[in-house]
């Protein structure tokens, strides 16, 4: 468990806090007309927090990188007209000062920035003594400690209204998602910091509008606190990330479809769940015992390999095991992804045990040699 964060409720005056907290707006603030029209439509549909990128950290230098401080005036005007709270991303100290000067209500730290502790610390120092809510996106790589570290840096600067944004993680493997969600990472963050609100970003996870609902529903099923979704008054004409943006009207339709499930259980439900959990615990105990026995055999194999000068990694054998277990898993309604992760972990643990036993055998051989030398 991480050191307890010093947090206040993530709220602002007049902000409705029931789940899901919804933050929406275009990927980029493109024109004053686009900002105002999108904000009006979102406000009409009940969204209270408007988001827009002012400075856009783009992968390629010739991409649209935002209008900078000039566009902050458009957010200011949208706030005056609609009463919505304004949120934008900051990536350095200059961004922080400019956003505060124009009365931005909520700041967020992007995935690339979160991955850099030096940049996060500079932003934290700039926010010292400022009372403003801050959202921290997960780093681009699946590192829960790096994510939590960024949150702690901002919290240590005196920012107590904090939330985490789960926007998915980069991966070299092919996927239907732009940034695979890897739900186990935000779940682990929730375990380490249970008081920290988590807001899921389906737009950056999906990279397209087609899967937004499924990701949003799963976030609600996991009892996450909110959603940050990109919305544009005319997505087809968007200057950046057009495929993942939806209209304010489409957003409302999607949100209305979400099913919010109960967190609290009545006595009967609690009893039923506990009965099933006892069964799960029994099987978990069996799994641990089986792993122990498997590793004991791996150590025997490691000793034999050392004594016979055989390499630890046998690629052909490993490939056969993995393919066989994936097929077996599919026959038992277990996903290939699950089986692959489990058996990769088992294989790595087996290698670790074999390396350890090989080292021990090496020491035993050296000790026998030393004793023979002494006997001569």
**294 and 223 inside one domain:** no
Residues 285 and 246 in one domain: no
Give the CATH number for residue 349: 1.20.59.10
In a domain, 335, yes or no: yes
Residues 57 and 177 in one domain: yes
- Tens-place pLDDT, residues 36-57: 999 999 999 999 999 999 997 7
The answer to whether residue 76 scores a pLDDT higher than 80 is yes
Residues 34 and 163 in one domain: yes
User: Does residue 74 sit in the same domain as residue 192?
Assistant: yes
What is the rounded radius of gyration, in angstroms, for the C-alpha atoms of the chain?
Answer: 26
Which of 257, 277, 299 lies at the terminal end of a domain, its last residue?
257
Whether 80 and 116 map to the same domain: the answer is: yes
- Flag whether 7 is in a domain: no
Count of the separate structural domains present in the chain: 2
Confirm whether 2 is domain-assigned: no
Q: In whole angstroms, what is the distance from residue 366 CA to residue 363 CA?
A: 5
68: alpha, beta or left? (left if phi > 0; alpha if psi -120 to 50): left
Going by C-alpha positions, the residue among 72, 89, 98, 13 that lies closest to residue 48 is: 13
Together in a domain, 241 and 283: no
Instruction: Indicate if the pLDDT at residue 102 is higher than 90.
Output: yes
pLDDT in tens, 241-297: 999 999 999 999 999 999 999 888 899 999 999 999 999 999 999 999 999 999 999
Same domain as 164, residue 296: no
- Which pLDDT does position 376 carry in this prediction? 65
pTM assigned to the model: 0.84
User: What is the average pLDDT value for the chain, to the nearest integer?
Assistant: 94
Task: State the Cα torsion 295-300-304-310 to the nearest 10°.
Answer: 0
> Would you place residue 216 in the very low, low, confident or very high pLDDT band (cuts 50, 70, 90)?
very high
Nearest to 84 by CA among 26, 160, 184, 12: 12
Q: Are residues 99 and 213 in the same domain?
A: yes
106 and 221 belong to one structural domain = yes
User: According to the model, what pLDDT value does residue 1 have?
Assistant: 45
pLDDT for 22 equals 98
Per the model's pLDDT, the better-predicted residue between 188 and 360 turns out to be 188
Range in 20-34, 51-65, 212-226, 290-304 with the lowest mean pLDDT: 51-65
Residue 107, domain extent? 21-257
The CATH number for 154's domain is 3.20.20.70
Q: Are residues 95 and 187 in the same domain?
A: yes
The 10 Å CB-count burial string (b at 16+, else e) for 43-73 is bebebbbbbbbbbbeeeeeeeeebbebebbe
pLDDT in tens, 119-135: 999 999 999 999 999 99
| Phi, psi dihedrals of residue 195, rounded to the nearest 5° | -85, -5
Q: Are residues 275 and 230 in the same domain?
A: no
């Amino acid at each position: 468990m991480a050191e307890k964060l010093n947090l206040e409720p993530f709220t602002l005056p007049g902000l409705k806090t029931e789940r899901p907290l919804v933050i929406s707006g275009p990927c980029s603030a493109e024109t004053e007309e686009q900002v105002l029209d999108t904000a009006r439509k979102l406000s009409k549909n009940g969204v209270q927090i408007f988001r827009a990128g002012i400075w856009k950290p783009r992968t390629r230098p010739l991409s649209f990188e935002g209008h900078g401080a000039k566009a902050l005036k458009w957010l200011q005007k949208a706030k005056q007209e609609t009463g919505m709270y304004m949120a934008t991303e900051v990536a350095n100290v200059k961004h922080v000062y400019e956003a505060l000067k124009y009365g931005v209500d909520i700041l967020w730290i992007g995935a690339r920035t979160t991955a850099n502790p030096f940049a996060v610390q500079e932003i934290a120092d700039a926010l010292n003594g400022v009372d403003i809510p801050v959202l921290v996106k997960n780093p681009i790589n699946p590192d829960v400690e790096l994510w939590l570290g960024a949150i702690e840096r901002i919290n240590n600067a005196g920012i107590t209204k904090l939330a985490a944004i789960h926007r998915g993680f980069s991966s070299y493997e092919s996927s239907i998602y732009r940034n695979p969600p890897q739900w186990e990472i935000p779940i682990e963050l929730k375990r380490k910091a249970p008081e920290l609100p988590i807001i899921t970003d389906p737009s950056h996870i999906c990279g397209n509008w087609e899967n937004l609902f499924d990701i949003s529903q799963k976030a609600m099923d996991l009892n996450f606190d909110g959603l940050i979704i990109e919305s544009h008054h005319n997505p087809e004409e968007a200057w950046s990330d057009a495929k993942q943006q939806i209209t304010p009207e489409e957003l409302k339709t999607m949100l209305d479809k979400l099913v919010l499930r109960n967190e609290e259980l009545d006595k009967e439900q609690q009893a039923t769940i506990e009965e099933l959990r006892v069964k799960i615990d029994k099987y978990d105990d069996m799994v641990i015992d089986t792993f122990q026995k498997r590793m004991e055999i791996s150590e025997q194999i490691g000793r034999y390999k050392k004594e016979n000068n055989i390499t630890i990694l046998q690629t052909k054998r490993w490939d056969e095991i993995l393919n066989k277990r994936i097929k077996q898993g599919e026959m038992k309604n277990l996903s290939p992804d699950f089986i692959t992760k489990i058996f990769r972990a088992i294989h790595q643990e087996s290698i670790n045990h074999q390396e350890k036993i090989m080292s021990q055998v090496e020491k035993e051989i050296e000790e026998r040699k030393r004793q023979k030398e002494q006997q001569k």
